[in-house]
A and B are shown apart, each in its own frame.
Chain A
């Protein structure tokens, strides 16, 4: 198992980078991320259309449902790109939580201070982005909860609603269709806030384009 960052710095042939650039996001992660982003936006929009059918006239209810279902299956399949990649890659370390509570809170506090104050004064982020440690403690904990708990729950609740009859027994086991629907809607509400905030925070890198470039090319330019 290789843990040497330099080995991970091999540039993709089609991207021109400086030797000093860090290879942060390998191709599977980038593919997963952007497909997921597109899928989430479509799911949020069609989901809103389904829930508030009388307020929108963009498409028919039937089209909204069918689009929602197909895109949802694509997003579920895409989730496994992310899961399999990280399960079989050294880069799973990016999600390793900081188990030392004192260290975690210390780092998290510093990060919050940075976003709340330091960033405005041009301070440097307390967390240095590295291929095997790209997330700050807040990102790490948030993304773990999102990817391992929230997203799977959303997938499962969505699957149950996709074919109520087929999943009759599990639906009854988790408290009925009403409970399943409420959970699905609550998570949708969470993502309605999460998505724009996530996009905005993507602009809080060294330059507003840093993280976006990083997510397109895989490399973080030296700064």
Chain B
């Protein structure tokens, strides 16, 4: 048993890279990613799990990084928007967001991309209704969501057939 401590050592994988850090116990995963690792693609909006802007993948499943403490992530694998972005250019999903004008200010976009990435991993050909429900936990104050839903539908339609099977 480890005695309760206000500093915690964590070893985890972030975007495929092993990371070891001593963090303050109360350090959120979101602040850890942004301020300790410089991964500022994860956006911090409401800090209480409502807006979805800080959504990341933990072991492949979506999570609010404002509702996890970095201290809890020992041994886990975190993927952020940086990890979903190719070294050059955009991923097909990101490209579809660009083409469909699925953003205005862009603040919600990383969380949207992460959320939709999990959706498409679980359900490669979602209905419009399923897409709308999947992004219902990600607030966008600009677009009215119509173009975001369209971007996801176009990304699905543009996939090679075998990937959708």
Tell me, yes or no, whether A binds B.
no
Q: B residues bordering A, Cβ < 8 Å?
A: none
